[in-house]
Amino acid sequence: MVENWLRAGKGHITLSLHIQPGAKRTEVAGVHGDALKIRLAAPPVDGKANAALIGFVADRLGLAKSAVSLKSGQSSRRKVLEVTDAPADSAQRLLSA
């Protein structure tokens, strides 16, 4: 079963995320409404949290950072990421904590 926060498209997946920057450590924290909640140790300053988020998701999925892009939510806690070359089932398995 695919979660509400994950949508599979042709050749890519879209992740709806709720971000908590400035946390003690970077981790997946479960589901927050229709979004996957991720705590980030990076502060929400000068794009550091966005860069940390992209790196974290790419690392968890075993992909290059270039495969992950921020589609919306540049300065919001609510973000949408697009990930190329990641099957939806492996993304759900690796991101669900």
What pTM value is reported for the model? 0.90
Annotated domain spans of the chain: 6-95
Q: How far is CA 84 from CA 13, 29, 42, 68, 69, in A?
A: 7, 23, 24, 7, 9
CA end-to-end distance (rounded Å), the chain: 15
Q: How does pLDDT run across 71-93, given as a tens digit for each residue?
A: 999 999 999 999 998 877 777 77
Please give the CATH topology (third level) of the domain spanning 6-95: Conserved Hypothetical Protein Mth637; Chain: A; (3.30.1200)
Q: What is the CA radius of gyration of the chain?
A: 12
Residue type, 86: A
Reply yes or no on whether the pLDDT at 19 is more than 90. yes
Q: Which of 22, 13, 69 is nearest to 38 (CA)?
A: 22
Q: What percent of the chain has pLDDT over 90?
A: 70
